[in-house]
């Protein structure tokens, strides 16, 4: 092998490291800031600084979980149309490197958590345990897998509360559960839509048949609309009266959220979402417009 080949291989390996860490997936950890925003503490540096440390901890933990998942799924990924390009499936990065990185990343996450509350540490350990169990086996159990995915999203919101010491709202918990359940169903719906074969074709390392696609779609849509219902009930609660001067304006968020959920499922039905729904949202200009309108409503109501 020439010096040029060695340098080229080294460059490709370094470029594969962010891909293995799935840096683009860190956008999910922004959910840690949602309780800070809703408690109107986003401009308080002591609160935001704790949320930033929590964000770093979850990024390390999530990357460790992704690498572990890719190591376990490398054989199946090699037979997949797009997943075969993942670093460990394509052998761009070696398995020993991945085995080394997993405990290092988990240790870094735990180290960050030492700056925060014991409750945050418990939630972080729970996240690591659940993601590890999910990668090893739980992802193969139909329905339970989407409940766990939704739970992992919701757990990030709870971790934001524990890290930043902002007010906890059971309304936020209920809303998060239904909204993220809808997104978890959407993720599975997209995966089944991309697979060839008949209705009885089984999905490797998953508990679903190809024909379960429509059922997933109906369950996901219902879950999303239940989240809007929870939001509507929350607007009439005493907690909203204490936080907002003009709570009636918050009703404008309901049609915006209904539009966004319906549009995401319509795009999925048309086969125009080929990735994780939260990542698809982060790359969707329309979602940014809807988010900006919601932020404007929140500001006007405060």
Is position 195 within any domain?
Answer: yes
Tokens 């003009």, located at residue: 246
Domain count for the chain, please give it: 2
Question: Same structural domain for residues 67 and 141?
Answer: yes
Between CA 53 and CA 121 the distance in angstroms is 12
φ and ψ at 157, to 5 degrees? -65, -45
Question: Same structural domain for residues 136 and 37?
Answer: yes
Between CA 261 and CA 227 the distance in angstroms is 10
Is position 212 within any domain?
Answer: yes
Domain end marker among 134, 153, 168: 168
Question: Same structural domain for residues 161 and 27?
Answer: yes
Q: What is the mean pLDDT of the chain?
A: 87
Is position 7 within any domain?
Answer: no
- The Cβ-side half-sphere exposure at 29, using a 13 Å CA radius, reads 22
Is position 154 within any domain?
Answer: yes
Question: Same structural domain for residues 154 and 184?
Answer: no
Domain end marker among 168, 199, 221: 168
**Residue in 150, 173, 175, 152 with CA at minimum distance from that of residue 161:** 173
Question: Same structural domain for residues 150 and 212?
Answer: no
pLDDT digits (tens, 9 = 90+) for 238-292: 888 878 888 899 999 999 999 999 999 999 998 888 778 888 888 899 999 999 9
Enumerate residues 6+ apart whose C-beta is below 8 A from 259.
290
H-assigned helices in 31-169: 34-38, 45-77, 95-113, 118-136, 144-164
Lowest mean pLDDT among 181-185, 201-205, 213-217, 255-259: 201-205
Domain end marker among 151, 168, 185: 168
Is position 284 within any domain?
Answer: yes
The rounded percent of the chain whose pLDDT value lies above 70 is: 90
Question: Same structural domain for residues 160 and 184?
Answer: no
Mean predicted confidence (pLDDT) in 186-191: 89
Question: Same structural domain for residues 146 and 250?
Answer: no
Between CA 161 and CA 31 the distance in angstroms is 10
- Residue span of the structural domain in which 74 resides: 15-168
**Cβ neighbours of 275 (radius 10 Å):** 13
Query: Long-range contacts for 88-97 (Cβ within 8 Å, ≥24 apart)?
Result: 88/20, 92/12, 92/13, 92/16, 93/13, 93/16, 93/17, 93/20, 95/71
Is position 3 within any domain?
Answer: no
Between CA 73 and CA 222 the distance in angstroms is 31
Question: Same structural domain for residues 235 and 277?
Answer: yes
Mean predicted confidence (pLDDT) in 205-217: 83
Q: What is the pLDDT of residue 6?
A: 46
On the question of pLDDT at 9 being above 60, the answer is no
Question: Same structural domain for residues 30 and 77?
Answer: yes
Question: Same structural domain for residues 133 and 214?
Answer: no
Can you read off the two tokens belonging to residue 215?
């059922």
On the question of pLDDT at 7 being above 60, the answer is no
Can you read off the two tokens belonging to residue 46?
């002591």
Is position 10 within any domain?
Answer: no
Q: What is the pLDDT of residue 224?
A: 96
**Residue in 66, 173, 182, 48 with CA at minimum distance from that of residue 123:** 173
Is position 91 within any domain?
Answer: yes
Contact by Cβ (8 Å): 28, 55? no
Task: Give the model's confidence band at 2: pLDDT under 50 very low, under 70 low, under 90 confident, else very high.
Answer: low
Question: Same structural domain for residues 118 and 24?
Answer: yes
Task: Give the model's confidence band at 4: pLDDT under 50 very low, under 70 low, under 90 confident, else very high.
Answer: very low
Q: What is the pLDDT of residue 17?
A: 86
Question: Same structural domain for residues 66 and 195?
Answer: no
Contact by Cβ (8 Å): 228, 258? yes
CATH of the domain at 47: 1.10.357.140
């Amino acid at each position: 092998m020439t010096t040029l080949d060695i340098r080229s291989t080294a460059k490709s390996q370094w470029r594969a490291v962010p891909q293995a860490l799935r840096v683009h997936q860190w956008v999910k950890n922004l959910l840690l800031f949602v309780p800070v925003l809703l408690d109107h503490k986003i401009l308080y540096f002591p609160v935001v600084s704790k949320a930033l440390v929590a964000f770093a901890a979850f990024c390390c933990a999530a990357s460790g979980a992704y690498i572990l998942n890719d190591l376990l799924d490398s054989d199946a990924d090699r037979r997949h149309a797009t997943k075969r390009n993942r670093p460990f499936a394509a052998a761009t990065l070696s398995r020993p490197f991945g085995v080394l990185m997993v405990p290092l990343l988990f240790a870094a996450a735990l180290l960050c958590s030492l700056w925060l509350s014991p409750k945050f540490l418990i939630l972080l350990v729970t996240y690591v345990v659940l993601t590890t169990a999910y990668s090893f086996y739980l992802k193969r159990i139909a329905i339970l897998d989407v409940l766990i995915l939704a739970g992992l999203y919701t757990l990030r919101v709870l971790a934001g509360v524990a890290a930043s010491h902002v007010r906890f709202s059971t309304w936020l918990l209920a809303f998060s559960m239904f909204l993220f359940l809808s997104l978890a169903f959407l993720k599975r719906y997209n995966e089944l839509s991309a697979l060839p074969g008949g209705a009885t074709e089984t999905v490797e390392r998953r508990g679903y048949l190809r024909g379960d696609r429509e059922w997933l779609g109906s369950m996901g849509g219902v879950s999303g609309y239940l989240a809007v219902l929870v939001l509507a009930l929350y607007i009439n609660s005493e907690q909203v009266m204490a936080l907002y001067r003009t709570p009636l304006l918050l009703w404008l968020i309901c049609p915006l959220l209904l539009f966004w959920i319906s549009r995401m499922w319509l795009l999925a039905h048309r086969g125009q979402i080929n990735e994780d729904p939260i990542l698809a949202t982060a790359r969707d200009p329309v979602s940014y417009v809807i988010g900006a309108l919601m932020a404007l409503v929140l500001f006007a109501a405060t």
